[in-house]
Structure 1
Amino acid sequence: MEEEEPMRSFVFLMTYMLLKRRRDLNNANTQRRNEIQRRIRHRQYFFQRQRRMLMMMIAGGIHSNVRIRTRPWTTTQSTDWWERVVMTEFQPSDWLDKFRMSRETFFYLCDKLRPRLARQDTSFRLALPVEKRVAVALWRLASNIEYRTISTLFGVGKSTVCRCVRDMCHAIVALLSSIYLRPPSEQELEDSAQLFLSSWGFPHCVATIATLHTAIITPSNNASDYANPAGWLSVLSQVAVSGRGQFWDVCASFPGGTDPADIFQNSSLWATAAEGGLSPAPPPIFMGKPLRYVLLGEACHPLQSWLMKAYPEEKGRRTSHTALTEPQRLFNRRLTRALRVSEEALLRLRARWQCLSKRNDCGLDVVPTMILACCILHNICESHGDAFKAEWQVESAEAESPQPSHKQLPSTSIDQIYAEEVRHLFCDYFEQNN
């Protein structure tokens, strides 16, 4: 027993030393792997930084091609440009030129979208601030320049630019539609009717119906359906414009070859107007009779008691239309003048957000949401009183294809019989007040 005791102690000591040696080797291997990974991340960081600096040097030539105004700070590094120049040195005119809205409206928009756009930092990277995400998306909507240029300018990846645009458009539609793109209240209906009468000389009207074609790239399926009457591919949208030049209702995502009358008759706006939802109860009095407020449409729309359109013009001896009377011609002139509300609103929309005036290279799953978001942004800027620059409209007119006209298309729908009596009331009104 006495001889076994030293042997047991020796075996225990050797076992302990072997286990300790194995643990030390494992720790050393772990530290070595961590150091290798740290060096790899360090090299990747500097490689990406050098690549971004190189892209910033190349970006100077790209910006000159997309007609971005040259400034002394266009050659600064991306992060410095955003953090120092935009956030601290931008003047009011810079905010309008680059983001199409005032600084106050920009931060108002950021606060409204924060619940959907805010992201958490991870152990690998810092999340982009909401303000920078909104700025990236607005730059794209306002200029329609390619993702690569915006990526270089803001120091983010192309995929990040694409994600910012998608996320912001969806967030605007989800969070702000109920505020800036909703059915009007009774007071708003009365205000719009007063504006149409005082500014455009058309009484008892609350909105006009118009169409917007947005040029797109060739879709993979059913490309012929997207060819509009002018011959180019587009997505067709229907808008209802109030007397203030703001959008009350927007239906997007239809192929450019769709009949506008079909879109209108299958829209929620048609159902609301037909049921009297765009007029107070009881109806207001017009020419001594109770009459609901009316909308104004184009020649392709069906005539209804609540939807007025122009009398068909006589175009030669072979036409089946009779010559118009002077009251009917006067009605057509007044209606054409009132339809300028929607024409001017769409001109301002396309000029402010040039992704709608130039060919949009986004997928068809994004374009409709982008159109809705731009209409909401238009209403926000108009309601906040942000300035509109005439030079934007000049740039838009130079870049876009002419909008196809639906005014000369005959209506394929059945006109309402009682509607002709209502149109005669308006003729009598204009004759009396001419």
Structure 2
Amino acid sequence: MTEFQPSDWLDRFRMSQETFLYLCEKLRPRLARQDTSFRLALPVEKRVAVALWRLASNVEYRTISSLFGVGKSTVCRCVRDMCHAIVSLLSATYLRSPSEQELDESARLFRSHWGFPHCVAAMTTLHTAIITPSDNASDYVNPAGWLSVLSQVAVSGQGLFWDVCASFPGGTDPADILQNSSLWASAAEGGLSPVPPPVFLGEPRRYVLLGAACYPLRTWLMTAYPEEKGRRPGDAALTEQQRLFNRRLSGALRAPDETLLRLRARWQCLSKRNDCGLDVVPTMILACCILHNMCESHGDAFKEAWQAEVAEAESPQPKNKELLSSSLDQRGAEEVRLLFSDYFEQRNT
């Protein structure tokens, strides 16, 4: 590592040397160990290097063991300890509720980059492939037929994770995850919008989030009008105005998809089958999301070659089933969606 060039740091650890050393200092309170009369403790820098190598490459523990001259069990401990330390010590800085300034900046970016106004975040899911668990394996079968842990993420216009729920079997309904999450409670109470709300279409209105068809429509969560296959018998065909809304929404939902691709490209333990135990995988996913936010916030370079490599090698993310009905009252939400539909139609003429 003393001979590494800047490109070497990026290739091996997916971050600059400066960010690596910053990370070591932040994690030192949890990762530092005392020397004993029997052996010298591994330096924090080596513990972090071992764990990052694993997260970045997903190579086998025995390969990293030989590379760093430590035991296989030591590699396992380094990965586990660092992931827990990241979640414990860095969540408050890099995975937290946004400030009013961050909300406004995210709304500006969704409007300028993705063509969707008055929106601060978009929601999607991430399936991480796992080995067969010892219990309840059928619960982990996702819609594509392979075993996974399912994560729910909310992504800002800056391409940062604002909220991550990462501990659900792959067969879980995303709508159930959302309705039992702190994000649901916060957004429903106006927690993702400044007070007073910003003006949109001449009136103060709360910011909205965007979500795929697997989520319920709410006043604060815009989803697409159901396409023909998801419509009930007797429903009228979609109008051109509704189709235009769906196209604009679909375009804006590329934002979280591109962020997840960058996440999996940087931390390839999430793009290949993860052979860690289910007690570690959710913490590892959270840690990778925090590391993504840290690297992006620090302006660390991202190599397009990583993205191309992942896009060619990994299995496509499963398509979650469309939510065909909801027991929730959606009348107010339909009115909000109609406002956005009118907005797009006016600007399309």
Q: Given the two structures, how large is their TM-score scaled by the length of structure 1?
A: 0.78
| Residue equivalent to 2:63 | 149
| Residue equivalent to 1:163 | 77
Q: Of the two structures, which has the highest relative contact order with CA contacts closer than 8 Å and spacing of 6 or more?
A: 2
Q: Aligned-pair distance for 1:328? A: 1.3
Contact 1:241–1:341 (Cα < 8 Å) also in 2:
yes
Greater per-residue helix proportion? 1
Q: Aligned letter for 2:221?
A: L
Following the alignment from structure 1 to structure 2, what is the Cα–Cα distance between the partners of residues 380 and 144? 20
User: In the alignment, does 2:264 pair up with 1:350?
Assistant: yes
User: In the alignment, does 2:248 pair up with 1:314?
Assistant: no
Following the alignment from structure 2 to structure 1, what is the Cα–Cα distance between the partners of residues 30 and 307? 32
Following the alignment from structure 2 to structure 1, what is the Cα–Cα distance between the partners of residues 147 and 274? 11
Q: Which residue, 86, 104, 111 being the options, matches 1:190?
A: 104
Q: 1:149 to 1:411 in 2, by over 3 A?
A: farther
Q: Aligned letter for 1:376?
A: I
User: In the alignment, does 2:130 pair up with 1:255?
Assistant: no
| Residue equivalent to 2:238 | 324
Q: Aligned-pair distance for 1:398? A: 3.1
| Residue equivalent to 1:219 | 133
Q: Which residue, 76, 88, 95 being the options, matches 2:9?
A: 95
Aligned residues: 348
Q: 1:411 to 1:347 in 2, by over 3 A?
A: farther
Following the alignment from structure 2 to structure 1, what is the Cα–Cα distance between the partners of residues 211 and 234? 22
Which SS does the other structure have where 1:355 is aligned? helix
Q: Which residue, 77, 88, 91 being the options, matches 1:174?
A: 88
| Residue equivalent to 1:125 | 39
Following the alignment from structure 1 to structure 2, what is the Cα–Cα distance between the partners of residues 102 and 316? 47
Q: Which residue, 38, 44, 54 being the options, matches 1:140?
A: 54
Q: 1:238 to 1:411 in 2, by over 3 A?
A: farther
Following the alignment from structure 1 to structure 2, what is the Cα–Cα distance between the partners of residues 267 and 157? 39
| Residue equivalent to 2:120 | 206
Q: Aligned-pair distance for 1:290? A: 2.1
Contact 2:143–2:321 (Cα < 8 Å) also in 1:
no
Q: State the Cα deviation string for residues 331-364 of structure 1 (Å, max 9, x = none).
A: 1111111111100000000111011010000000
Following the alignment from structure 1 to structure 2, what is the Cα–Cα distance between the partners of residues 411 and 400? 32
Q: Given the two structures, how large is their TM-score scaled by the length of structure 2?
A: 0.97
Q: 1:215 to 1:411 in 2, by over 3 A?
A: farther
Q: Which residue, 370, 384, 391 being the options, matches 2:284?
A: 370
User: In the alignment, does 2:299 pair up with 1:380?
Assistant: no
Which SS does the other structure have where 1:213 is aligned? strand
Following the alignment from structure 1 to structure 2, what is the Cα–Cα distance between the partners of residues 165 and 411? 42
Q: Aligned-pair distance for 1:253? A: 0.9
Point out where structure 1 has 5 or more consecutive residues left out of the alignment. 1-85
Please tell me whether Structure 1 or Structure 2 has the larger radius of gyration of its CA atoms.
1
| Residue equivalent to 2:142 | 228
| Residue equivalent to 1:238 | 152
Contact 1:303–1:415 (Cα < 8 Å) also in 2:
no
| Residue equivalent to 1:424 | 338
Q: Which residue, 250, 261, 264 being the options, matches 2:178?
A: 264
Contact 2:33–2:42 (Cα < 8 Å) also in 1:
yes
Q: Aligned-pair distance for 1:432? A: 1.7
Following the alignment from structure 2 to structure 1, what is the Cα–Cα distance between the partners of residues 99 and 322? 33
Following the alignment from structure 1 to structure 2, what is the Cα–Cα distance between the partners of residues 398 and 430? 35
Q: State the Cα deviation string for residues 164-221 of structure 1 (Å, max 9, x = none).
A: 0000000000000000000011111111111111111100000001000000000000
Contact 1:137–1:165 (Cα < 8 Å) also in 2:
yes
Contact 1:301–1:411 (Cα < 8 Å) also in 2:
no
Contact 1:301–1:413 (Cα < 8 Å) also in 2:
no
Q: Aligned-pair distance for 1:415? A: 4.8
| Residue equivalent to 1:302 | 216
